[in-house]
Structure 1
Amino acid sequence: MPTIASLTIYPIKSCAGIDLHEATLTPSGLSTGQVADREWMVVDLAGRFLSQRELPRMALLRPALTEQALMLTMPGQLPFALPYAHQVDAASVRVSVWDDSVDACDGGDGAAAWISAALGVACRLVRFAPHALRLTGQRWTGGAGAPTRFADGYPLLVIGAASLEDINTRLRQAGRAALPMNRFRPNLVLAGLEAFEEDYVAQFEIGEAVICPVKPCPRCPIPSVDQATGVPGPDPLDVLQAYRRKALLDDAVCVGMNCVVSAGAGTVLVVGQSVDGHLAFD
Structure 2
Amino acid sequence: MAHGRPVMRVDSLWIYPIKGCRGQALDAVDVTTEGFDGDRQFVLTDSGVPQSQKSLPALKDLAATWQAGQLTLSFKGGDPFQVPADSHRQKEPMPLIGRTVGVIDLGEPVAQWLSEAFGKRLRLVKAAAGEAISIPLPVFARLEGTVQSKTVDVAPLLLANQASLDDLNQRLEAPVPMDRFRANIVVSGLAAYAEDALDTLRLGEVSFDAVTACERCAVTTFDQTPDGASDVASKEPLRTLSRYRRRENGYAGGVMFGTYIAPLKVGRIHVGDYAG
Work out whether the TM-score is over 0.5: yes
Contact 1:136-1:148 at 8 Å conserved across structures: no
Question: 1:271 and 2:248 equivalent?
Answer: no
Give the aligned residue type for 1:141: A
Question: 1:227 and 2:224 equivalent?
Answer: yes
Indicate the SS of the match to 2:141.
coil
Call closer, same or farther: CA 1:70–1:101 in 2, change over 3 Å: same
Question: 1:129 and 2:131 equivalent?
Answer: no
C-alpha separation between the residues in 1 aligned to 2:22 and 2:91?
A: 26
- Aligned-CA RMSD value: 2.0
Call closer, same or farther: CA 1:50–1:9 in 2, change over 3 Å: same
Question: 1:7 and 2:8 equivalent?
Answer: no
Q: Paired residue for 1:259?
A: 261
Call closer, same or farther: CA 1:49–1:187 in 2, change over 3 Å: same
Indicate the SS of the match to 1:110.
helix
C-alpha separation between the residues in 2 aligned to 1:143 and 1:119?
A: 36
Q: Paired residue for 2:148?
A: 148
Shift of 1:97: 1.7
TM-score by length of 1: 0.86
Q: Paired residue for 1:73?
A: 74
Question: 1:213 and 2:210 equivalent?
Answer: yes
Indicate the SS of the match to 1:232.
coil
Indicate the SS of the match to 2:171.
helix
Indicate the SS of the match to 1:163.
helix
- Poorly superposed stretches of 4+, deviation over 4 Å: 65-68
Call closer, same or farther: CA 1:66–1:39 in 2, change over 3 Å: closer
Shift of 1:116: 2.1
Greater strand proportion? 1
Indicate the larger mover: 3-12 or 73-82.
73-82
C-alpha separation between the residues in 2 aligned to 1:203 and 1:62?
A: 33
Question: 1:192 and 2:189 equivalent?
Answer: yes
Give the aligned residue type for 1:10: Y
C-alpha separation between the residues in 2 aligned to 1:143 and 1:112?
A: 34
Q: Paired residue for 1:279?
A: none
Contact 1:16-1:62 at 8 Å conserved across structures: yes
Contact 2:19-2:42 at 8 Å conserved across structures: yes
Call closer, same or farther: CA 1:269–1:207 in 2, change over 3 Å: closer
Shift of 1:106: 0.4
C-alpha separation between the residues in 2 aligned to 1:248 and 1:68?
A: 41
Encode CA deviations 1:105-152: one digit per residue, 9 max, x unaligned: 10101111222222233221001124x525252531347232222121
Shift of 1:261: 1.5
Contact 1:92-1:106 at 8 Å conserved across structures: yes
C-alpha separation between the residues in 2 aligned to 1:168 and 1:144?
A: 35
- Equivalent residue runs for 1:54-73 within 5 Å: 54-65=55-66, 69-73=70-74
Consecutive unaligned residues in structure 1, runs of 5 or more: 277-282
C-alpha separation between the residues in 2 aligned to 1:155 and 1:67?
A: 20
Q: Matched residues, percent identical?
A: 32
Contact 2:143-2:211 at 8 Å conserved across structures: no
Contact 1:55-1:119 at 8 Å conserved across structures: no
Q: Paired residue for 1:43?
A: 45
Consecutive unaligned residues in structure 2, runs of 5 or more: 1-6
Call closer, same or farther: CA 1:37–1:91 in 2, change over 3 Å: same
Q: Paired residue for 2:178?
A: 181
Give the aligned residue type for 1:269: I
Indicate the SS of the match to 1:245.
coil
